[in-house]
């Protein structure tokens, strides 16, 4: 559906039109129609309220050529917009501090740093000077170039990172063209926010006493906005595509953040039904809270370590609240993103030390640099590749750029004096790559010894099983490492030869495909024979539908987004290890993912009613 475009004259007369409609006192037959939409649920909860429209639609300036004598004025206009954006961001940070809005000042700090980014500022100035284009057109072009660096990513989490620069660029553009940036913090009534898109800062500004939930046209499950919504406990659904075209300010709405269902102008009976659903969900949450502080243990007394995946230090409080037993995956890529220079050894050391201290006495598992053609950073030397998913990425990039790799390794080693750190290498395809990585780790140790630096000489080293060849060679890999961790996201993609971001083949992305399950079993068997632990840290780990299968296949540790931890602990408490092994034995004999899915779902629904859907 094409998006409506409002002309300046339409905007000018809109208030008069609204007053005229109000004066007409339209009869009930003109009541706005009921509309039901389905989006991506990113933060659970059920709310009923009035819609509050926030204009966050894209500004696309016209291509405008300027005269040479206008260059200086355009550059001044650009810098004025930068400064206005800076003042707005500082006002947002002041709001956070004054209202004790969590630990989200870092979001502003990141944006303030991005305002100084050389590519953003210098490249915009260059286009104004050399190509004689207006400031708004030049900036729009530069934002597009930066977004391309994050585009085409097969990892949903990192593909959403382009939204961060997108939101900042929109702020500057709006200031350039004179459009007021509406502040979420100014909302002073109970509402459900409806927007084309929201930045993480928009979300962190929300007063949970006023903003009952939000819905957007754009967005994905792993965006920063979605993560913050979950952290703040604000129900949300995203990816609705055209909801801003279908909602008017003041419309009554039902937002179901569990299923992603949105109902605009619901019938009276629907409102009552969803109020009851809300009551049931809150009862379920109170019950689920009881599991957060309990050990992850099966009915027959087998302990399973349940950890969290994190990126930011600000997540530590949340993972502890949900009962995480340490960090099973710390993604270090953010040290490299949105900057021109490589992080120094001291930056690595200080960051990892801070994480280790925050999570102590629990364990911190650090994944080394996992960048490449699909996850890019200005600071890392990369060339364009036709097929980045199969190109120079992760451990391959680290082996090609040993000094970059060893700088990170020295930082990890220095922080390892805390004794609760272990390190793992991503995307290892076989023993040769592992040998090369281990050799560089030894070089890093020798360099620290020469400098008189101390570190944990018994640092545990592991490998991520993300490539079928690594799974098939797991027995040999296990001879050289202290643990394995299966990254199911990539393993599924490579095993089934699909591109997860290609909408034409995404339906083939099947975690329960028998081939994937067999690769997990091979890896788990190898780890058990070698006497070393094995974990799963991909999306499968946090889905309770897969919990018993993974246990039955031999997985001993699960690492996931923190909000999933109580749900997984609940599943563990209701089943035995014997049952898990029986389930996995049966599914390994099946031929299709559909067959496996139907069997597991049917079994769980029959034996544990309400386990998969607490509101059934």
Query: Is the backbone peptide bond immediately before 357 cis, with ω within 30 degrees of 0?
Result: no
d(CA 596, CA 25): 58
d(CA 224, CA 238): 12
Q: Judge contact between 419 and 458, C-beta under 8 A.
A: no
Q: C-alpha 162: how far from its chain's center?
A: 12
Q: Tokens for 578, please give them.
A: 């014997």
Q: Tokens for 609, please give them.
A: 């009613």
d(CA 462, CA 304): 19
d(CA 369, CA 158): 13
The DSSP result for 425-480, as a single string, is ESS--SHHHHHHHHHHHHHHHHHHHHTT----TT-EEEEEE-SHHHHHTHHHHHTT
| Cβ within 8 Å of residue 529, ≥6 positions away | 475, 478
The DSSP result for 48-103, as a single string, is EEEEEEE--PPP-PPP-B--GGGHHHHHHHHHHHHHHHHHHHHHHHHHHHHHT-TT
Active site residues: 224, 537
Beta strands 211-216; 236-238: pairing state: parallel
Q: Return the H-helix or E-strand segment holding 351.
A: helix 345-359
Q: Judge contact between 285 and 60, C-beta under 8 A.
A: no
């Amino acid at each position: 559906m094409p998006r409506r475009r409002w002309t300046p004259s339409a905007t000018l007369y809109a208030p008069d039109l609204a007053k005229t409609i109000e004066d007409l006192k339209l009869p009930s037959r003109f009541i706005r129609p009921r509309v039901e939409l389905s989006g991506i649920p990113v933060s659970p909860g059920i709310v009923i309220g009035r819609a509050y429209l926030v204009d966050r639609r894209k500004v696309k300036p016209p291509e405008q050529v300027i005269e040479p004598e206008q260059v200086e004025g355009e550059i001044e206009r650009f810098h004025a917009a930068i400064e206005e954006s800076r003042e707005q961001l500082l006002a947002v940070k002041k709001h956070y501090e004054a209202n004790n809005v969590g630990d989200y000042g870092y979001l502003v700090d990141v944006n303030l740093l991005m305002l100084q980014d050389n590519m953003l500022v210098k490249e915009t100035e260059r286009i104004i000077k050399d190509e004689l284009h207006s400031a708004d057109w030049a900036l729009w072009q530069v934002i597009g170039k930066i977004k391309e660096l994050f585009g085409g990513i097969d990892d949903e989490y990192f593909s959403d990172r382009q939204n961060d620069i997108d939101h900042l660029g929109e702020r500057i553009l709006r200031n350039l063209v004179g459009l007021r940036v509406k502040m979420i913090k100014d909302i002073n009534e109970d509402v459900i926010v409806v927007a084309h898109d929201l930045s993480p800062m928009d979300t962190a500004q929300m007063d949970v006493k006023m903003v009952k939930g939000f819905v957007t046209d754009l967005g994905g499950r792993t965006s920063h906005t979605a993560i913050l919504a979950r952290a703040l406990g604000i129900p949300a659904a995203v990816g609705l595509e055209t909801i801003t075209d279908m909602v008017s300010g003041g419309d009554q709405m039902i937002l179901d953040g569990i299923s992603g269902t949105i109902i605009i102008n619901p019938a009276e009976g629907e409102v009552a039904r969803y109020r009851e659903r809300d009551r049931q969900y809150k009862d379920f949450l109170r019950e689920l809270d009881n599991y957060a502080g309990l050990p992850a243990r099966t009915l027959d007394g087998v302990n399973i370590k349940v950890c969290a995946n994190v990126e930011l230090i600000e997540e530590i409080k949340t993972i502890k609240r949900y009962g995480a037993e340490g960090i099973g995956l710390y993604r270090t890529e953010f040290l490299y993103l949105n900057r021109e220079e490589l992080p120094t050894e001291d930056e690595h050391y200080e960051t990892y030390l801070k994480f280790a201290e925050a999570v102590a006495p629990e364990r911190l598992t650090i994944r080394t640099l996992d960048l490449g053609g699909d996850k890019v950073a200005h600071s890392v030397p990369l060339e364009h590749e036709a097929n980045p998913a199969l190109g120079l990425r992760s451990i391959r990039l680290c082996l090609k750029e040993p000094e970059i790799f060893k700088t990170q390794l020295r930082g990890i080693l220095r922080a390892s004096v805390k004794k609760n750190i272990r390190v793992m290498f991503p995307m290892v395809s076989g023993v040769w790559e592992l040998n090369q990585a281990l050799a560089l780790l030894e070089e890093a140790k020798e360099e620290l010894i020469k400098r008189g630096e101390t570190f944990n000489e018994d640092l545990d080293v592991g490998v991520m099983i993300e490539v079928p060849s690594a799974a098939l060679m797991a027995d040999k890999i296990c001879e050289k490492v202290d643990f394995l961790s299966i990254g199911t996201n990539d393993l599924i993609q490579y095993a089934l030869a699909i591109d997860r971001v290609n909408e034409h083949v995404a339906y083939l992305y099947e975690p329960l495909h028998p081939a994937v399950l067999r690769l997990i079993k091979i890896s788990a068997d190898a780890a058990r024979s070698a006497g070393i632990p094995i974990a799963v840290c991909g999306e499968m780990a946090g889905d309770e539908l897969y919990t018993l299968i993974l246990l039955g296949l031999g997985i001993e540790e699960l690492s996931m987004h923190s909000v999933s931890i109580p749900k997984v602990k609940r599943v563990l408490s209701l089943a035995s290890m014997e049952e898990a092994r029986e389930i996995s034995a049966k599914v390994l004999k099946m031929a299709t993912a559909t067959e496996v899915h139907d069997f597991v779902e049917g079994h769980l629904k029959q034996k544990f009613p309400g386990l998969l859907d607490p509101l059934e």
